[in-house]
């Protein structure tokens, strides 16, 4: 009896190790995303000069298991509020980051770093500054929703913080 239980315990241990090790060696997968962006300024200096913004974002990622390395390119424009003589703010961003899927492959956390190239419609000031973004999202049946917070410096000397809601499509290949 003792030898049989010992044998069964060793077999169960090997079976457990085999199923866990095969789960670690998944084939890489590709993900393509495209979405519309609605953005709201969150800090007072940005709110004083600009209204909410609209934009688009597209990207691709490569992942193993529940972790994806992503790259995105986006364009947003923020309307001026009338008191601002610089005109509308136009932001083109290039970002790279990581997504970690945490709940059945549907809910994810994300973080991005990159570059924001900016200009104004009525002012010649331009700049290219560091941008970072963090947030969370949900993906189901190819539909994706994200809520993110973005931070960067504008050509005029103040920091921009914006809350973004992104809605679009996401395809895993």
Domains, the chain, in order of start with CATH, read: 28-172 (2.40.160.20)
- List 38's β-bridge partners, or say none: 54, 165
Q: Let me know if 10 is exposed, middle or buried by CB neighbors in 10 A (0-12, 13-18, 19+).
A: exposed
Do 55 and 34 contact (CB within 8 A), yes or no?
no
Q: For residue 146, give Cα distances in angstroms to 2, 35, 36, 110.
A: 56, 10, 10, 9
- The DSSP H or E segment spanning 83 is none
Token pair, residue 164, equals 């973004």
d(CA 72, CA 95): 5
Q: Of 131, 129, 60, 130, give the one whose Cα is nearest residue 99.
A: 60
Q: Which of 8-12, 49-53, 123-127, 158-162 has the lowest mean pLDDT?
A: 8-12
**pLDDT reading at 163 higher than 60:** yes
Question: Would you say how long the chain is, in residues?
Answer: 173
Assign 156 a pLDDT band (cuts: 50, 70, 90).
Answer: confident
How many Å apart are CA 25 and CA 8, to the nearest integer? 26
Q: pLDDT tens digits for 54-65?
A: 999 999 999 988
Give the pLDDT confidence score for residue 172 in this predicted structure. 84
What pLDDT, on a 0 to 100 scale, did the predictor assign at position 19? 44
Name which residue leads in pLDDT, 57 or 127. 57
* Per-residue pLDDT reduced to its tens digit, 2-37: 554 455 445 455 444 444 444 455 667 899 999 999
- Distance of alpha carbon 148 from alpha carbon 136, whole angstroms: 6
Give the pLDDT mean for 89-113.
Answer: 91
């Amino acid at each position: 009896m003792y030898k049989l239980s010992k044998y069964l315990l060793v077999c169960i241990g090997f079976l457990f190790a085999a199923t866990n090790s095969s789960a670690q060696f998944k084939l890489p997968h590709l993900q393509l995303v495209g979405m519309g962006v609605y953005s709201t300024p969150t800090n007072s200096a940005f709110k004083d000069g600009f209204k909410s913004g609209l934009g688009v974002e597209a990207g691709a990622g490569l992942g193993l298991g529940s972790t994806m390395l992503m790259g995105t390119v986006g364009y947003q424009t923020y309307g001026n509020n009338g008191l601002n003589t610089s005109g509308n703010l136009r932001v083109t961003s290039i970002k790279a980051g990581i997504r970690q899927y945490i709940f059945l492959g549907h809910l994810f956390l994300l973080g991005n770093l990159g570059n924001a190239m900016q200009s104004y419609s009525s002012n010649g000031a331009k700049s290219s500054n560091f941008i970072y973004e963090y947030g969370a999202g949900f993906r189901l049946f190819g539909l994706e929703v994200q809520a993110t917070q973005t931070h960067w410096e504008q050509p005029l000397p103040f920091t921009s913080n914006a809350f973004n809601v992104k809605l679009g499509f996401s395809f895993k290949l």
